[in-house]
Amino acid sequence: MRSKKTIWQLILLVILVCATIVLVFLGNQIFDSIKSHPRVTPSSEKVNLETTLSQGTNLNVNKIDSKKQASLEKLVEDLNEDKFFGAYLAVKNEKLVLATRFGVANAKIGNVFRLNSPFVIGDLQTLYNNAMLLKLVQDSKIDLDEDVRSYLPELKMERKITVRDLLFNKVSVFVKSKYLNEFETPDFLRKIKKSNSKDSVLANDFIKGKIISKVDNMTYADAFESLITEKMGLTNSRVITSNSLWTNDVLSYKYMIENKLPVQKDEIDIKTIQNSNYTIRMSLSDLALSTNKMLKSSYLNKKMAKLYKKSMPSSYKQSNGYLLSTSKSGQYIKIKTDSSGKNMLIVASNFPNKKMLLNTLLKRLQVIVY
């Protein structure tokens, strides 16, 4: 009995030894595999501008270098002292590093400025029209050298005007202001003229919008939704098609003093903005993201992105990038960006601040952030 017990003990010992050897071998194989195949971070974990902008809506971000905190605190102190109303954000290396607000976006209901508060972007709409046109050129739906009358036969022009002429501001056409509310009607194009007369406004962007709508066989608002909002992953941008306001829309205010201090109280009526020549609302986060995508060739291919930059009004171009600016319907926006869209400052307001001007604010922020 003792000898049988001994034999079974030896067998168990051999099994244990073999199992240990196998486990050690497998462990070494796994370890070697890990060493030769380092962990790849999934694309969803990469930190980029789109990710940082989607992490919240509050304008309370501060990731500025500790050496610059004193300068930032002094700026905030000055803005509070000057009763500045508005908001700003800063992007550095495609990451949101600073966002702050002062005053309210809507005094009626006490809404503060947020990353997703839609501003009226005024004549910055030209940039989005140009981007949409070039997207359609890229998709072979539009020819830059084609006469615009090929797309819009209702347009009565004495001479040929190409899509390229419109894109690069080589021609100017006009329409009387009283016809702006007829934009979606077939007769609108017949009222566009080459000559500038009293009560007329520049109609170049109307023609761009009509071409975009015609080619994609949808309204301008739907084309914007399809070509800009959806393709860029924007969340708070739209073409204004009615006089109704969204809860988070930014309202506008006239300059008003009460008890010797500026107040956001005298509201400007901009409910009829859908009958003007600039009809897009866009949030600060969407402005940052779309500007970044249009400049760094992620929305357009390299060839089209180059044409997009060339199409920008000369007043926007600077030696080291662009300074985009608008002041329509009582709302003021300035975007200072490098040519790649990776570094950007945006300042915006719904009040005509007289002490701290937006240009001054931009310069001080530039020193602090970069």
This prediction's pTM: 0.85
pLDDT band at 35 (very low <50, low <70, confident <90, very high): very low
Q: Supply the pLDDT for residue 8.
A: 61
Looking at the predicted structure, is the pLDDT value of residue 251 above 60? yes
CA angle 90, 93, 98 (to 5 degrees): 25
DSSP secondary-structure letter at 54?
T
Distances (CA, A) of 239 to 120, 221, 226, 279, 281: 10, 5, 12, 6, 6
> Which has the minimum average pLDDT: 29-43, 134-148, 167-181?
29-43
Residue with tokens 């702006």: 180
Mean pLDDT (whole number) for 331-340? 97
Mean pLDDT (whole number) for 12-22? 61
Summarised one tens digit per residue, pLDDT across range 55-77 is: 788 999 999 999 999 999 999 99
Check residues 308 and 179 and name the one with the higher pLDDT.
Answer: 308
pLDDT band at 40 (very low <50, low <70, confident <90, very high): very low
Check residues 252 and 28 and name the one with the higher pLDDT.
Answer: 252
Domain boundaries, the chain: 2-39, 47-141+208-369
280 SS3 class: strand
Q: Supply the pLDDT for residue 198.
A: 80
> Is residue 183 within 8 Å of residue 110, measured between CB atoms?
no
> Which has the minimum average pLDDT: 11-20, 51-60, 345-354?
11-20
Mean model confidence pLDDT for the chain:
88
Residue with tokens 């196998």: 22
Looking at the predicted structure, is the pLDDT value of residue 210 above 80? yes
pLDDT band at 162 (very low <50, low <70, confident <90, very high): very high
Q: Which helix (H) or strand (E) holds 261?
A: strand 261-262
Summarised one tens digit per residue, pLDDT across range 132-160 is: 999 999 999 999 999 999 999 988 887 89
The arrangement of strands across the sheet holding 86-92 comes to: 61-62, 95-102, 86-92, 344-349, 331-337, 321-328, 317-318
Looking at the predicted structure, is the pLDDT value of residue 33 above 70? no
Nearest to 282 by CA among 328, 218, 343: 328
Mean pLDDT (whole number) for 229-241? 95
Tell me the fold of 47-141+208-369.
Beta-lactamase (3.40.710)
Q: Supply the pLDDT for residue 31.
A: 39
Looking at the predicted structure, is the pLDDT value of residue 234 above 90? yes
Residues 46-81 as b/e (b if ≥16 CB within 10 A, e otherwise) read eeebbebbeeebebebeebeeeeeeebeebeeebee
Mean pLDDT (whole number) for 210-214? 95
* Percent share of the chain, pLDDT over 70: 86
Q: Where are the alpha helices (DSSP H) in the chain?
A: 2-36, 49-53, 69-81, 125-138, 148-151, 163-167, 204-216, 220-224, 231-232, 284-295, 302-311, 358-369
Locate the DSSP E strands across 95-216. 95-102, 104-106, 111-112, 118-120, 174-176, 200-202
